[in-house]
Amino acid sequence: MGPYNIPRNVSDEGRILFIFTGKSMIYTAVAAGIGFIFYLIINAFGAKMIGMLVVAIFALIGFCIGTFKVPDIGAFAFTKKVGGESIDDVIIRAIRFKKAKNKIYTYEMEEETKDE
């Protein structure tokens, strides 16, 4: 008899500490670094606890940007177009669009009514 491979769930092996993927860990670290700059400024005024809270909030925002996807809500036109895509992809695409100074034009067609 030959060896038999036992199937197993390998979808979560790329995770660090159960909740972080590589991308979300990077976004969390970068956002916490930005929050740390604010921590140093706030700590200079003597509010150390508020500075730590700011770092935690920035890290949470970075984690959310790196992990979550835009929900597909039919009531909003924006989410119909980007629903299901990662938040960071949407943000990067918006920054590139603004950087290229692109514009979106909309035209309204008026219907001509015939007088009888």
| Separation between Cα atoms, residue 74 and residue 105, nearest integer Å | 23
User: Residue 7: pLDDT band by 50, 70, 90 thresholds?
Assistant: low
- Same domain for 56 and 88, yes or no, is no
Residue 9 lies inside a defined structural domain of this protein: no
Across the chain, what does the average pLDDT equal? 82
Structure tokens at 50: 């508020």
- Same domain for 81 and 59, yes or no, is no
Residue 2 lies inside a defined structural domain of this protein: no
Of 26, 94, 34, 36, whose CA–CA distance to 66 is shortest?
A: 26
Q: Which residue has the higher pLDDT, 7 or 47?
A: 47
pTM to 2 decimals? 0.67
Percent of the chain surpassing pLDDT 70: 81
Structure tokens at 39: 């921590």
- Same domain for 45 and 82, yes or no, is no
- Same domain for 62 and 78, yes or no, is no
Task: Please give the tally of structural domains in the chain.
Answer: 2
Domain containing residue 90: 69-107
Residue 26 lies inside a defined structural domain of this protein: yes
Q: What is the mean pLDDT of residues 94-108?
A: 80
What's the first-to-final CA gap in the chain, in angstroms?
A: 90
Question: pLDDT tens across 18-60, in order?
Answer: 777 888 889 999 999 999 999 999 999 988 999 999 999 999 9
Q: Is residue 82's pLDDT more than 60? A: yes
| Separation between Cα atoms, residue 39 and residue 57, nearest integer Å | 11
- Same domain for 99 and 89, yes or no, is yes
Residue 58 lies inside a defined structural domain of this protein: yes
Residue 87 lies inside a defined structural domain of this protein: yes
